[in-house]
Structure 1
């Protein structure tokens, strides 16, 4: 990484930015930048668990969420921990954090961390929901359901 200055450098140095460069071994004393060696986008994800479900395994569940996020190529942003003794709605903070961080997915230890042991449909409308055990993904729909499309005819008419 290099520290670069903008044209209008001021005394507070607010015109600085970081630039990621990767170099080939060059000829002689010169190094050449690699083609395509720019920073890559990683989708953001959150972790979510309930303290009453995890119990004494809470730290283990958190580490399993982080491991799965790394393996799947997500930028892990935050762990949302719900404790029912505070009486707040269980998914309110998770949905707010997901919106604020523009998250693509939430990873949970198991479906039991949701009411009734079922993945909430309202959450799947906003985020992909990934469970650690069993490892499953409940993906958002990116297109309208097929039943909303006009029926196709086999004869081409």
Structure 2
């Protein structure tokens, strides 16, 4: 709440007026849930060291360039190294949730198992590949089935 006391009319009994902000995030950049206001949507970069190899720096540069061209705000580069034995997408999904990211940019589909974009990842976040430049949007992804699809012969 802000209070202005001077009105410029010289009156002693003038009480001033009050200006109140209803939304706290206007003052400090946060809303009441702790989310940070951003001017651009946030994106992550993701790559695998075993796929990029000696071109890792090049791949990181291409990810950043594409993000800038598409108008995203860079938040983090998640680099997966299979030598550590962790699940490949665990940290990426955790970072996407923590940073409230809109998209992840990868050098190519080869950076995922089987060279395919994981449907479970696309349900959470848009996936953009540098080469070929394609977008897998979560709004267009059909739901992942829990059961295998039924065959036409009823089996």
TM-score (norm 1): 0.66
Match of 1:112 among 110, 113, 137: 110
1:54 aligned onto 2:52:
yes
Q: What is the CA–CA distance in structure 1 between the aligned matches of 2:133 and 2:2, rounded to whole Å?
A: 50
4+ runs deviating over 2 angstroms? 142-145
CA distance in 2 between counterparts of 1:89 and 1:53 reads: 16
User: Over the residues paired in the alignment, what is the CA RMSD in angstroms?
Assistant: 2.5
- Partners of 1:88 and 1:71 lie apart in 2 by 32
Equivalent in the alignment of 1:95: 93
Residue 100 of structure 1 deviates from its aligned partner by: 0.2
Query: Could you list the runs of 5+ residues in structure 1 that have no partner in the other structure?
Result: 1-5, 9-16, 19-38, 146-157
Structure 2 residue runs without a partner (length 5+): 4-26, 29-36, 144-155
Structure with bigger gyration radius: 2
Distance 1:7 1:58 in 2: 52
Q: Deviations over 1:98-137 (max 9, x none)?
A: 0000000000000000000000000000000000000000
Q: Deviations over 1:16-44 (max 9, x none)?
A: x79xxxxxxxxxxxxxxxxxxxx972100
Counterparts of residues 27-42 of structure 1 (less than 5 Å): 41-42=39-40
TM-score by length of structure 2 reads 0.67
Q: Does 1:133 align with 2:141?
A: no
